[in-house]
């Protein structure tokens, strides 16, 4: 969908940033604000300087874990942690959207879900990104959120990468409803076998439910002797980025 048309359609939901050409020189870790009704939410977006000028960059939407909840952005702009984060992000050939979940809320809360999708759509419009290559990933609480949003917005994301996540649903059959809605969306699931915070059974049961869906495309990497820090293993996976960027909506 053309950026101007998308901007017009979404204008009533949130404030739309200036057109992409006005921000052509902006790169690095940027602060942004999105409006939902009368509330304003801050989020961050990273635009890689080395890939400036390329047409229609893909977008990775990253959902953080429970320890990063708050307001004002969770990726530091200064200090050693900030330098390390920006150095890593600069190597990713994609725009990375980094929303922040409010304190005492979860990604599957309706308000947080609307905020995240509004920030994502606003980013696509502002930077003229490739709407056919939107990727969703999250860690821990963000992994739960990734499954939720992939199911609720089926057909929006070209791929989903949940890391040590699980089903946010309650009840006896918590996995099949999500698996049916995720359907054929390519997914690569990561979990540590010795995770004591999010049981590995969460990913095992989700993968099992997905494999029962006709036409599903799911990969699963489980690491023996690894706990909740399995995101380090996921980042070190040599095939992950090439696999991810090869996915696009039909």
Structure tokens at 156: 């929006």
Complete DSSP assignment for 53-73 = T-SS--EEEEE--GGG-SSS-
Its sign, for the CA torsion 191, 47, 97, 242, is negative
Provide the pLDDT confidence category of residue 190 given band limits of 50, 70 and 90. very high
State pLDDT tens for residues 112-148: 999 999 999 999 999 999 999 999 999 999 999 999 9
Q: Quick check: 10 pLDDT over 90?
A: no
Q: Is the pTM higher than 0.85?
A: yes
- 213: number of Cβ within 10 Å: 16
Please write the tens of the pLDDT for every residue from 59-71.
Answer: 999 999 999 999 9
Residue 143 has a pLDDT of: 98
* Domain limits for position 199: 3-246
CATH code, 197: 3.40.50.1820
- Number of structural domains in the chain: 1
């Amino acid at each position: 969908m053309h950026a101007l048309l998308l901007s017009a359609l979404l204008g009533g939901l949130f404030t739309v940033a200036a057109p992409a050409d006005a921000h052509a020189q902006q790169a690095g870790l940027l602060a942004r604000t999105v409006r939902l009704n009368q509330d304003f939410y801050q989020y961050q977006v990273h635009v890689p300087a080395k890939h400036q000028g390329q047409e229609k960059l893909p977008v990775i939407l990253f959902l953080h874990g429970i320890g990063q909840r708050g307001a004002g952005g969770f990726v530091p702009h200064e200090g050693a942690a900030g330098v390390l984060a920006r150095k890593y992000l600069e190597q990713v050939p994609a725009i990375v959207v980094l929303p922040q979940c409010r304190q005492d809320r979860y990604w599957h809360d309706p308000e947080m879900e609307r905020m995240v999708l509004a920030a994502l759509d606003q980013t696509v419009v502002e930077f003229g990104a490739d709407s056919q290559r939107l990727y969703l990933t999250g860690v821990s609480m963000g992994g739960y959120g990734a499954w939720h949003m992939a199911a609720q917005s089926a057909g929006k994301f070209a791929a989903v990468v949940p890391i040590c996540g699980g089903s946010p649903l309650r009840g006896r059959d918590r996995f099949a409803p999500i698996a049916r809605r995720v359907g054929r969306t390519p997914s690569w699931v990561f979990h540590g076998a010795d995770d004591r915070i999010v049981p590995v059974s969460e990913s095992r049961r989700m993968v099992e439910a997905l494999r029962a869906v006709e036409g599903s495309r799911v990969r699963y990497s489980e690491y023996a002797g690894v706990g909740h820090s399995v995101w380090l293993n996921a980042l070190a996976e040599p095939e992950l980025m090439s696999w991810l960027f090869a996915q696009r909506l039909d």
